[in-house]
Chain A
Amino acid sequence: MNTEKYRNAMSKITADEELISSIHTAAVTQPKKARSKGRLCRTFPLIATAVIMLAGFTVYAANSGLLSIIFKDSETDFSPFENLTGDITVNELEVYLDGLTVTPVGTASDSYTVYTVFRLDFPEPLPESDEYSEFAGDGYGHFTPKLRDTLAKFSEQDLPTGGGAMGEYVKGDEDTLYYVYTVSSGGKISGEVELDVICQNLLGDSKGLLKDSYIYSDRLFYADFTVNVPEVECIGFKTDGTEFETVDAKVFPCSIVMTSYDETFVNAYKEKHFEHYALAKAYVTLKDGSTVDIRGTSIAYGASKDHIRFVTSGMVYSEPYNANYFNYRGYLSFPVDTSDIVSLTVGNTTIYPEK
């Protein structure tokens, strides 16, 4: 490569006085946040790759670009998943395609979300595709047996706030896919958890990610596996305004849980307000300025265990009645170090960690 010409050209990209002046003015005129008493001295590697140790598993919180899943409009970055080191114990594995090798990569989890990643090595290069490549489950009806049983078992400990699962293909090398399988539990989970997954080929009525290839099966693999869900710390959030002030909001490394038993709040926000919040863009902001989207958002509310209504993204199953229970759930696009979280935003509401 002729690096000299490139270097010469790059050296001409400089900031002019006008830009420097405008940034300086913007900085010095903005409200400055309160500084902590001791200045925190850190070196950049800790900022760049916040490696966190949480009860036996290590994840990268950095937001980087090794892997990419192709959505219709944008590329989503899933590289933090490649560094999961939680163990997946595979109890049963059935592979439906000759030459396909399925390898468990790792898992990360907290009390409400389990990410598991499988690596799929195909015998030939995969076809190029820009198709949407995910499927999602919601409710219990069409779940795989172990997943259904596990979610039901843990839901008994809590109000039956449901649960869901999502599988996503993440393109690796030309003959490799990563399969990120995310289970979101309504009830609090812990210890050894048995789950299973059917990894679909996306053939048939779906978008045909792999249809024009030698791959003919409608399923790629089935796995029955066990993961160990550790007890991990969460951080509490409170609004300093009026909205959500009676809501108990908790952010885990993988999950968001907001609960309220305040009848006044619940009834004030039911129906359209809940729909609004279930559909609203939600994300956490990290210290380095990046944001991590919250996905799979849903709201359950009701008057008793037998009268729960769900409001999930895109679907509203709700009827007006006097309710006294509100539960907002979502999972982070990838695990983060909760100590790096500066704020949580749902729609137009931003709340901050409790002091």
Chain B
Amino acid sequence: MTGSVSGLRAIVITHRLLVRQLVTRGRIAALLGVGIIVSLVVALVSRAGGEDESAEEALEIGTSVMSNLGFTIVVPIVALVFASAAFGDLKEDGTLVYLWLRPMDRWPMAVAGWLAAATVSLPVTLVPLTVAALIADVGSELVWATVLACVVGNLAYTAVFMLLGLLTKNSVVWGIGYILIWEGLVAGISGVGEKLAIRGYTRSIIAEQTGVDLYLGDLSLGIAVVVPALVILAAVVLSTLRLRSLDVA
């Protein structure tokens, strides 16, 4: 009657389950609210200069505000909330057993966990930030930079924070520590720290696309896309290994 479940099938089933578990009204409303507020701030500050401001100055201000608020706060925090909960919630409430004790490989579960977190968190960040870039009206460069950086940053953060949810009990606390301390402080004073901060790659994409100089934004577009892709791969592989070795309650 039963057989093993193929990798693709396992991804589809697990993805559906996790998306359903992740999407709660409270989470979506709270995070969408944060996204909208930040987006309004970005839009308002960018347009505050009025007619005295040159197009170049307006782009510089808009890019700076978008980078500092959107990609330092909104993208990583939203990714953290959803990705750490992807398996973290199931692990904590004891329902992971209903996925784990099945004839499924672990890698499709890890892939599905990452995709589920991205499926939910990407629209919550991409839509308000893109709308903010449009309202700022400082040129299409910022809009495209926002879209690309949001996609790359979101996919990378969700992979890393999903792993964090599997590794630690208080993953949100650890995640906030990473965002504030590592990305906010260590990355600025250490070369190694900078390379291990996803924020550096999203800022580099924005800087590259808009031509605006940004702190921690001096990598080429190719590196800013390829390195996060490798980070995603590494995080998914480590999550697979973690799922294999996990003690399930």
> Is the pairing of A and B real?
no
B contact residues vs A (CB 8 Å cutoff): none
